[in-house]
Amino acid sequence: MSLTKRIIPCLDVANGRVVKGLHFESIKDAGDPVLLAQKYGSEGADELVFLDITASQEQRETIRSLVSNVAQVIDIPFTVGGGVKTLQHARDILLCGADKVAINTGAVKNPQIITELMELFGKQCVVIAIDAKRNYNVSNGTNIFSEDSKKFWFEVFIYGGKKETGLDAIEWAKKVQDLGAGEILLTSIDRDGTKDGYDLTLTGAIVDAVSIPVIASGGCGRPSHMLDVFKKTQVDAALAASIFHYETHSVDRVKEYLKKNDVQVRL
């Protein structure tokens, strides 16, 4: 036996409720975050991720109390992200009881925050969220891929998928690792909310480029998508939201399915 693959339910939170969008938009309500956290914990989730998708200044107090309420009811690790831009804000979240903090826009705007957080809390607390999208204008990319005779590269987006950065996701992943990130939460914007499966090309490329753990995210619509991403890439963890929220599949059932198909999971 050795290290297992991790199954991570994600809770997108807006105004204190869990919601789910398609392509980062069109939000619908999916439940109470503390109750869902408890449910996932008892079903055998390996970790939880909370993303504050409104990420506005007023939400900070809501998130702080959410984090400490969640910390009271679960005994597995959890990550909190969304709109974290300053060291102080990250510190707040960690001191309220989160084990890790996920940063995207804040790290693109000020990469130094990665090193500062790592020095203060250790790299295990620092998760860099990378939202990547295929860009078919290959003259701007560094790492070019080809599928169905179309060429593209993966561009990093910030502000919840709304703004492009010109950064090549593979180069950015290597850089955040050098700066002190402990883990990468990799979301495919093309696949997010589609239920078409993870972007295996993106996931495989990032996993091969870095030596820190990577979590695949975006596109999981059924358990076989998780099997695919574990069989076809060396990714460490798979994150999903909607398949768990609407009682379509429970965490333990998904893990039993993976185990039956020779993926090492904790049961």
Nearest residue to 225 (alpha-carbon basis) of 204, 197, 200: 197
Interacting residue with other proteins among 237, 238, 243, 251 (CB under 8 A): 237
Amino acid at 142: T
- Cα-based distances in Å from 191 to 43, 141, 160, 180, 237: 26, 20, 14, 28, 17
Q: Is 131 a catalytic residue?
A: yes
Task: Name which of 99 and 155 has its Cβ closer to other proteins.
Answer: 99
Question: Annotated catalytic residue: which of 99, 131, 228, 236?
Answer: 131
Q: Which amino acid is at 243?
A: I
Beta bridge partners of 156: 132
Phi/psi at 188 (nearest 5 deg)? -90, 115
CB of 223 to other proteins, least distance (A): 19
Q: Which window, 19-27, 71-79, 103-111, 153-161, contacts other proteins (CB under 8 A)? A: 71-79
DSSP state of 77: -
| Using rule CB under 8 A, residue 116 touches other proteins | no
For the question of residue 12 being annotated catalytic, the response is: yes
One residue of 26, 56, 124, 140 binding other proteins per CB under 8 A: 124
Binding site for other proteins (CB under 8 A): 1-4, 6, 41, 46, 68, 71-72, 75-77, 94-99, 119-125, 182-183, 211-213, 236-237, 266
